[in-house]
Structure 1
Amino acid sequence: MNRASKRIATLLVFVFLLSFSLLAEAKSPLVLQTDFGLKDGAVSAMQGVAVGVDPDIRVFNLTHEIPAYNIWEASYRLMQTAPYWPAGTVFVSVVDPGVGTERKSIVLKTQTGHYFVTPDNGTLTLIAEKMGIAEVRQIDENTNRLSGSNESYTFFGRDVYAYTGARLAAGVIDFEQVGPRLLTDIIRIPYQKSAVKGSTAIGTIPILDIQYGNVWTNINKTTLDSLQLRPGDMLQVEIFNQGKAVYKGKMPFVNTFGDVPDGKPLAYYNSLMDLSFALNMDSFSSVNKVFSGPEWSVKVEKINR
């Protein structure tokens, strides 16, 4: 092989590697969330569908331990997690008690460039608020459905959502090919938004730190800045379920759990910088029968000394 031929061969190899690199970069992560659990093969079937679309696709699990039918918790876990993934990531969330009914199957693109594939049943309530809606499209199930699955009405997670999400993440289709654009708003779950009036803050309990029984609110540090909370300040905390008082007590605002004796209550900022309540070395939720969801609300007042 002469020098010119070698140069051409080297150039061709370089172009091939560059093209392969650009193709690999075009593939986005695919992140799965369900309430299926891992006791059977449902999650594996979804993963298999994704790999069948593209063997090189990168599939990750957010969680498959959402409590059965708990659309609100699915909404929260997406909001808690999605901001830490790069733009272009495709999330498939399947908590779908209305599977097979007339509820819409949609893909939402956020203003941050993330994609969410899910039934339109309230799952995207918190994502829409946190990341903004750029556009929503209804999945065209005539073109974006696993081949041979048309007679199945109870596993849209495999047949429609995983399949569509994988095709979008792998670059097989673009967002416009998902289906027609929706001009109406998504379905949203109503809940108590956080606010501060004088020395009192109100909000909801969207989720528990389930492993430890800590109670997380949606009252963010930014919202509470007007109270000028400092470690050691005392708070009066009231918690309600559907308007009925469940808990009332005083606790210090501190930096971390070990700042109070074992078994004592405390208020602190969690990893998302939201006000939270705990018992040091115990479960605030179990001891006080406090749980989470849009039907739970909280009132917090700073006690002047």
Structure 2
Amino acid sequence: MSKAEQREQMINGAGFIAALDQSGGSTPKALALYGVQPSDYGSDEEMFAEIQKMRARIILADDFTRDKVIGAILFERTLSEEIDGRKVADYLWSVKGIVPFLKIDKGLEDTANGVQLMKPIPGLAETLAKAEGVFGTKERSVIHEANAEGIAAVVKQQFDVAREVIAAGMVPIIEPEVNIKSDTKAEAEDILKAEILKNLDELGEGQDVMLKLTLPSKANLYDEAADHPRVLRVVALSGGYSTDQACDLLAQNGKMIASFSRALTEGLSKQQSDAEFNAALGSNIAKIYRASV
């Protein structure tokens, strides 16, 4: 694995990052949308086996290549899974040419000061040390209101974790999501931008990050962050928008690329034939790619 080659792809690659990191909390909903109901599995093991089959079907699809998909975010459990006899992270890079990332957060605290901080991440150093073949990480918080104190706490926590990731030789994707249904979304984004820029200025040479942000109410709001010397790339989350809505909004932001999850898998079903599945996924990939470039 060439870290330099992966870094170059993250900075200059044309395409988007696929979010395939559904965790224990989000997996049942993702499976239901895919046509797999809770009655179809009887344990967590069977549930995770079903979501791995879905991920593998996506990764193996003809259109899922570095030509349009430059990176993919994985759930920690996925690192021990295999596709065609290779660990998933190795398969992504060695076979598909797609840079692997790892979701490291353990979920969210209850809402306080209009935000949800990340829960503690026990054993983070050990997790990072075992993440063989992984280029970077992703960690998510959520902002519900334009509360300056809460947003400052979210960003500080994110950058504190990011420094641990950087110290382990990896590139963190910082994800302070703003709830798209917030009545104060635009105001929250203005506060968030200021806090992000302040924290970016405190990073030293070589302490590089990526940002994963909600598609902003004001187009190109995060251009200044995208141009910051410590930022490799700014990517957008779909946040509950449909594929078409997310792509329309993304196309208005010239310095953001996509990192979509639900919008990537929209319309996919276990019951589809391989031809139907590949056509639906290929259509989504093409839309998200066009919006990203």
> Normalising TM by the smaller chain, what interval?
under 0.3
Answer 1 or 2: which has greater strand percent: 1
The structure with more radius of gyration: 1
Q: TM-score, normalised by structure 2?
A: 0.25
Answer 1 or 2: which has greater helix percent: 2
